[in-house]
Structure 1
Amino acid sequence: MKGLMRVTRILALAMAAVALMFALQANAQMMNVVGEAKLKVMFWDVYYSRLYSPSGRYVDGQRPIKLEIEYLMDIDAEDLISRTKEEWKHLGVNHPNQVLWLQTLEMMWPDITENDRLAIVIDDAGHSLFLLNNTPIGRVEDPDFGQHFVDIWLSPNTSRPQLRLALLGAE
């Protein structure tokens, strides 16, 4: 009887998680573009990025938001993780859960092929859902993660200030 109750509880939690992921995905589809930008490094077009919010305006800390990146070249997951670490170092991010976050991303992110779209949706509670080509691929529950992640593009101290301005619709 105990085993059956445990299985029932696990199934209920799994169903709730799936329902939440679909709700977040639906919420992401009701958003408006704030701004968009193209990252070009030397001769290479790397990606297009788009920032979304319900109102079509970005207010720091306001949720939900969605940041979508459409890659214009193949990129290994390992390179994405490495770049995330570099950008956090540039921003001075030093969070006690940072190693756990990077391990979670290593397990979640696939290698990217040209035209893939990787997106993060941060909900009202600060939970982060990652989508690959509009299909959920994983979540990070820690409410601190999402802001630190999107700060790579949206912080005033970003390594790409022109890209930031375009994403914020200021350019």
Structure 2
Amino acid sequence: MLKNLSLFLLMVLSSLALQAQPSWITEAVPGAQKLGGGTLRFIGMKIYDAELWAKQEFDIERFTEQPFVLKLTYARSLVGKLIAERSDKEIHQLGLADEARRKAWLEQMIKLFPDVKQGDSLAAVYIPGKNLTMMRNDAVLGEIGDPEFARAFVSIWLHPNTSAPDLRKALASTR
């Protein structure tokens, strides 16, 4: 009886785990699984939960060479323009682009990034050498057509000099 109950619970939990992974993630990155996750806080306030979806062999030290999905689920409402401006500031602090290029990217981010409310998710689909595809609540939001932008944007979270090193570590640590 206990063996049957254990088997039943294993099947239920497995199906719940599969349901938790949106199908678009494995379509974008075949073989992807959730590798890690963490929470970004600012002055103690929870801003969002982040998840990294990639193949099991993902190496964070070579993140720009591998496909992955970075998904953020917001804990509070934020204005899209402010998300874009903060992203620009992070790219600037990492020294990943000159001012002219960042200005062009900022204009594109302001057009693309929506306002979010608690529970909304935004995700970046990163494929090396390709445009960055943005998702909102598991639907395509749009693209920014510059592979250099794609690399700079995902560096906000995964670059060794990120402003959130604990989050970076958490994103790549759950295996």
Tell me the residue number matched to 1:8: none
Change over 3 Å in CA distance of 1:35–1:141 after alignment to 2? same
Q: What is the SS of the residue equivalent to 1:60?
A: helix
Checking the alignment, whether the CA contact within 8 Å between 1:70 and 1:115 is kept in structure 2 is yes
User: Could you report, residue by residue, the CA deviation over 1:131-166 in whole angstroms, capped at 9, with x for unpaired residues?
Assistant: 000111111221111110011111111111111111
Which blocks of at least 5 consecutive residues in structure 2 are unaligned? 1-23
| 1:39-69 deviation digits (Å, cap 9, x = unpaired) | 1222311100011112362342223211100
Of 52-61 and 80-89, the range deviating more from structure 2: 52-61
Amino acid at match of 2:78: I
Match in the other structure for 1:67: 70
Aligned to 2:85: 82
Query: Percent of aligned positions with the same letter in both sequences?
Result: 26
Partner deviation per Cα, 1:57-110 (whole Å, 9 max, x = no partner): 234222321110000000011210121122112112224532222111111111
User: What is the match of residue 115 of structure 1?
Assistant: 119
Hey, what's the Cα distance between the residues in 2 that align with 1:163 and 1:127? 24
CA distance in 1, matches of 2:128, 2:152: 16
Contact 2:35 2:174 in 1 (8 A): no
Match of 1:145 in 2: 149
Which runs of at least 4 in structure 1 moved beyond 3 Å after TM superposition? Answer: none
Q: Is the 8 A contact 1:32 1:55 kept in 2?
A: yes
Distance 1:53 1:161 in 2: 19
1:42 has 2:43 as partner: yes
The equivalent residue for 1:133 is 137
Unaligned 5+ runs, structure 1: 1-22
In the alignment of these two chains, the number of paired residues is 150
Q: Does 1:94 align with 2:85?
A: no
**Partner SS, residue 119 of structure 2:** coil
TM-score computed with the length of structure 2 as normaliser: 0.76
Q: Provide TM-score, normalisation by structure 1.
A: 0.78
CA contact (8 A) 2:76 2:119 kept: yes
Match of 1:154 among 154, 158, 162: 158
Q: How far apart in 2 are the matches of 1:47 and 1:88? A: 19
State the 1:29 CA deviation: 7.3
